[in-house]
Structures are given as structure tokens and as C-alpha cells.
Amino acid sequence: MDATGRNFWTVFTGIAFVPAGLAIVAGVLDVVAARLLALMLPLFSVLVLTPLIFASPHDHVSWGADAYHVTVVGAALIVADWLDTRGHSAQKQQATA
């Protein structure tokens, strides 16, 4: 992938973080936003970062970027699960009240 393609995906994912973050903070479709982030990041990793590993396998920056994305995906899934669990707890409390 050329530099223009990588730049597009970098800007696209950067812009996608803004509405996802706003949705999570505002509590509007927060679980969906966190899960979509968890989906977006591995796609970005596969489309942009993994080809860099194959292009220069001894470049530790490319490996580190992929490792970072795996960590962030895990964190996004943990946040999504926590938000989902928190929402179910609130619904149970409202049902019993």
C-alpha cells in the first residue's frame, strides 16, 4: 500500500475515534461505539500495519504498532463489556424498583 493509502486510513480511523469517544462519554449507543472501535482497529491493523511487517520484517516499529493495536482492541472489548454489564445492572435496578 502506498503512502497515500496509509494516510487515508490513518486519518479515517483518527476521525472515527471522535464520534466513538463522544458516544461513549455521552452514553448514547456507548456499547455499540466501543464494539465498533474494537472492530475498526484490527481492520486498520490488517490493512495498513501488517503489510509493513511483510515489507520489512526486521522493523520493530511495525511489530510494536501491531502489538499496540492488539492491546487496544482488548481494552475496547473490556470497556464494551463493562458498559454492557453496567447497563444491564441499571435495567435490573429499575425493574425491581
Residue with the three cell numbers 497515500: 4
Range of the domain at 87: 3-96
* Distance in angstroms (rounded) separating the CA atoms of residues 69 and 76: 10
Mean pLDDT by 10 residues, the chain (97 residues): 73 87 89 88 82 87 86 89 78 60
Residue with the three cell numbers 476521525: 15
Number of domains the chain contains = 1
- pTM for the structure as a whole: 0.69
pLDDT at 18: 92
pLDDT at 95: 59
